Amino acid sequence: MPDRHTAPLIKNAVDFSFQLKPVNIWTLNNGVQVYALHAGEEAVLQLEWVFLAGNSHEPANMVASATNFLLKNGTSRRSAFDINEHFDFYGSYLNRNCYNETSNITLHSLSKHLSHLLPVVREILTDAIFPQEELDIFVTNSKQRLQVNLQKCDFVANREIDVHLYGSNHPYGKYSSAEALDALQRDALLQFYQQHYQQGHCVLFVAGQLPEDLFDQLNAQFGDLPLKPAVFTKASPLVLPQQVTGERHIRISNDPNGVQGAIRMARNFPNRHHPDFQGVSVLNTVFGGFFGSRLMSNIREEKGYTYGIYSYLQNHVEQSAWMISTEAGRDVCEATIAEVYKEMELLRNEPVDEEELLLVRNYMLGSILGDLDGPFQIIGRWKSYVLHGVDEQYFYNAIENIKTISAGQLQELANRYLQPELFYEMVVV
């Protein structure tokens, strides 16, 4: 019997030893790699096909996302309804997403049903036909959704700040429009599909309770396809601009009757290969990266200007940005911005005290412990490392950095990067 009269010892997360569970790497007959993690208590798995078929590869705006969305909307043998019914029958879920550099197809399934599902995924990857009626529905629904979203200040702010950071022609700065949707042609989608899916560059990630013959199943269904291995090289760290390009103070009127405004403050920032990236990740957590951060304590708890305010480093591959994001009453938007700059100044001028730094260390390491709880979370971390061209040593370097970075180093980073003149500030009301 446990002794319930004595409280258990409390152990700080900084005292834990962290281990990233290793993966097996298989290679299909066509050279495509499979990262496999056998773990978990339940007989389920997650299987993800990742293609170099994101926005940065498209010949015209919206082609990549439209192609990805319509992948499972019909083959020469099955309608969109038939495909969805097949996966529903086996209690599985097939989803697809399109990002800046990559797109994916993700299957969640009971492990025992995999043999019934992989042939249909193969069919989608080899025989999707993109029916014109499905494309027409996609365009109509997307335009209606866009019309509604453009009335929301936070949606407009997210689009416009990326344009200022990267430029309207950059894959990170492009956004959807009614004109781009109307310009979509079935032939363009078919060509993109043939180039980037049927004969594209691909890598697979699978985790869960894996069948003993999983490799044989994957090789039989996908190893003979004209797919090519996806190679993810280490991107060069971004050379930071020394000043903001164009107007730094942007004010946009979007909803005259709205009661609050969307605030975005952002600057260009190096990608994760830069030597300062991991240190700034700790500084960002102190600044605005969790519920107990400086920004939250000041602007939410003390001033009551907002329900929540956060800062974060964008997780892009080639370039990145440091972003502060919140919504506040339209009458206090300017005051909110002033308080953000005040917190930047405090971090530049005063070292973080040891109690606060210990709290941040424990929070960050505790979050990592949560991310390692379960096979799907672990394979997600491996996927991030593979796509960014780093290995598992990056994980251990990050842990060491969180445990050992000093208040003086954080203050030095704050003086290097938290300079107001390098931040765009945008308010959309």
- Residue 239 banded pLDDT, cuts 50, 70, 90: low
Higher pLDDT, 161 or 2: 161
Tell me how far apart the alpha carbons of residues 373 and 240 are, in angstroms, rounded to a whole number: 36
Q: Are 125 and 117 in contact (CB under 8 A)?
A: no
| 97, 220: one domain | yes
Residues 322-348 have pLDDT tens digits of: 999 999 999 999 999 999 999 999 999
CA distance from start to end of the chain: 61
Q: Among 164, 194, 229, where does a domain finish? A: 229
- Residue 75 banded pLDDT, cuts 50, 70, 90: very high
| 336, 287: one domain | yes
Q: Are 415 and 409 in contact (CB under 8 A)?
A: no
Does 2 score more than 90 pLDDT? no
| 66, 210: one domain | yes
pLDDT score recorded for residue 49? 98
| 207, 325: one domain | no
**DSSP states of 205-218:** EEEES--TTHHHHH
Alpha helices in 61-213 (DSSP H): 63-69, 80-89, 114-127, 132-149, 153-166, 178-182, 186-193
pLDDT score recorded for residue 112? 96
Q: Among 200, 229, 258, where does a domain finish? A: 229
pLDDT score recorded for residue 188? 98
| 225, 301: one domain | no
Alpha helices in 74-113 (DSSP H): 80-89
Structural domain containing residue 325: 249-428
Angle, alpha carbons 354-356-309 (nearest 5°): 155
| 334, 220: one domain | no
Q: Are 263 and 251 in contact (CB under 8 A)?
A: no
Does 238 score more than 60 pLDDT? no
Please provide residue 37's backbone torsions phi and psi, each rounded to the nearest 5 degrees: -130, 115
Alpha helices in 175-321 (DSSP H): 178-182, 186-193, 214-222, 277-284, 294-295
| 262, 126: one domain | no
For residue 199, tell me if it sits in a domain. yes
Tell me how far apart the alpha carbons of residues 139 and 234 are, in angstroms, rounded to a whole number: 36
Does 100 score more than 60 pLDDT? yes
Does 387 score more than 70 pLDDT? yes
For residue 6, tell me if it sits in a domain. no
Task: Give how many domains the chain has, as a whole number.
Answer: 2
| 77, 33: one domain | yes
Residue-averaged pLDDT of the chain: 94
| 376, 281: one domain | yes
Consecutive H or E run containing 327: strand 320-329
CATH code, domain with 328: 3.30.830.10
Q: Among 229, 257, 272, where does a domain finish? A: 229
pLDDT score recorded for residue 236? 64
| 410, 316: one domain | yes
Q: What is the mean pLDDT of residues 193-202?
A: 98
Consecutive H or E run containing 47: strand 44-51
Residues 5-46 have pLDDT tens digits of: 888 777 787 778 889 999 999 999 999 999 999 999 999 999
For residue 31, tell me if it sits in a domain. yes
Residues 247-299 have pLDDT tens digits of: 899 999 999 888 999 999 999 998 889 999 999 999 999 999 999 999 999 99
Consecutive H or E run containing 427: strand 424-428
pLDDT score recorded for residue 242? 60
Q: Which two tokens stand for residue 7?
A: 């409280």
